[in-house]
């Protein structure tokens, strides 16, 4: 053992404590917000897509917790949004899906760092209907359709070779051009938001945080949070 700082000789640019960006972008004002959070999300999402600063602006971090309250997070791709919420697709036997089965409370995070923005959602998840799942599955590339069958997502497997051989067997059974059935263990979750926070980085860490909160009567209240 040595008490010498292991990072002492390293490039100073690698020190996370010294990483500090000054956010200078314009703020957000209560008066400019849409009446509901999904419309507001649509505006920000459009800006994220059009400005092309963010790689995969539809990537979001989904955090779930098991029945004992132990959390876990992972990135997924948001594939649809509307006034009912945000939709992603996954394996229904995966860790996240099992956790959502036991505890539907979920949080989403869109980390749009290059725009000094993030959108934070809390809500509840429920499975999409089979028709909606099937309609989306048919839009996926053939290889992704086979991948959904080949993967026993979140389980321990002996090797990559096993995964690839299962994919090869499937591609022999369903060659390109042949319709691949929707796997019964695969489908969507729709997250109905309870709160949606729009976070905009500002100078001197005086960031804007405007949060929509669902009221029991179906309307939305907007509140400003201290940064
Ligand atoms: C950019 C990105 C996009 C991803 N999109 C999805 C997705 O849409 N659905 C999915 O099930 N996993 C997706 N993944 C993989 C997940 O992060 C995760 O590894 C997988 O869903 C298993 O998670 P779980 O074991 O916690 O259930 C994505 C990963 C990355 C990095």
Model confidence pLDDT, tens digit, residues 20-79:
877 767 899 999 999 999 999 999 999 999 999 999 999 999 999 999 999 999 999 999
Please state, in angstroms and rounded to a whole number, the distance separating the CA atoms of residues 141 and 114: 29
Report which protein residue has its CA nearest ligand 1's atom 14.
76
Report which protein residue has its CA nearest ligand 1's atom 6.
76
Q: Please give all residues whose beta carbon lies within 6 A of any atom in ligand 1, as ranges.
A: 56, 59, 72, 74-77, 88-91, 94-96, 153-154
**Mean pLDDT, the chain, as a whole number?**
94
Domains and CATH numbers, the chain: 22-138+188-224 (2.30.110.10), 139-178 (no CATH)
Please state, in angstroms and rounded to a whole number, the distance separating the CA atoms of residues 38 and 205: 26
Output the pTM of the full model: 0.92
144 labelled as ligand-binding? yes
List Cβ<8 Å contacts ≥24 apart for 66-75.
66/99, 66/102, 66/103, 67/102, 67/103, 72/96, 72/99
pLDDT at 39: 98
94 labelled as ligand-binding? no
Residues 87-101: tens digit of each pLDDT? 999 999 999 999 999
pLDDT at 4: 67
- State the residue for tokens 């996954």: 90
pLDDT at 21: 79
Beta bridge partners of 150: none
Least-confidence region, from 5-19, 63-77, 138-152, 207-221: 5-19
Tokens of 156: 């321990």
Query: Is the model's pLDDT at 138 over the cut of 70?
Result: yes
Q: Which atom of ligand 1 is nearest to the CA of 75?
A: 17
Least-confidence region, from 16-20, 150-154, 168-172, 186-190: 16-20
| CA 189 to ligand 1 center in whole angstroms | 13
pLDDT band at residue 7 using 50, 70 and 90 as cut-offs: low
């Amino acid at each position: 053992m040595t008490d010498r700082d292991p990072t002492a000789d390293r490039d100073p640019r690698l020190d996370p404590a010294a990483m500090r960006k000054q956010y200078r972008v314009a703020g957000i004002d209560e008066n400019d917000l849409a009446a509901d959070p999904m419309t507001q999300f649509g505006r920000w999402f459009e800006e994220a897509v059009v400005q092309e600063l963010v790689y995969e602006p539809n990537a979001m971090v989904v955090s779930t917790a098991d029945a004992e309250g132990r959390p876990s997070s992972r990135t997924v791709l948001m594939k649809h949004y509307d006034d009912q919420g945000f939709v992603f697709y996954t394996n229904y036997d995966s860790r996240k899906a099992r956790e959502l089965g036991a505890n539907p409370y979920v949080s989403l995070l869109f980390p749009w760092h290059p725009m000094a923005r993030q959108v934070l959602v809390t809500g509840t998840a429920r499975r999409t209907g089979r028709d909606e799942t099937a309609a989306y599955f048919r839009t996926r590339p053939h290889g992704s359709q086979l991948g959904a069958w080949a993967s026993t997502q979140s389980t321990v497997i002996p090797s990559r070779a096993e995964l690839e051989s299962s994919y090869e067997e499937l591609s022999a059974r369903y060659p390109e051009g042949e319709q691949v059935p929707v796997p019964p263990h695969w489908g969507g979750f729709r997250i109905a938001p309870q709160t949606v926070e729009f976070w905009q980085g500002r100078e001197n860490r005086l960031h804007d945080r405007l949060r929509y909160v669902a009221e029991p009567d179906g309307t939305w209240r907007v509140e400003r949070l201290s940064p």
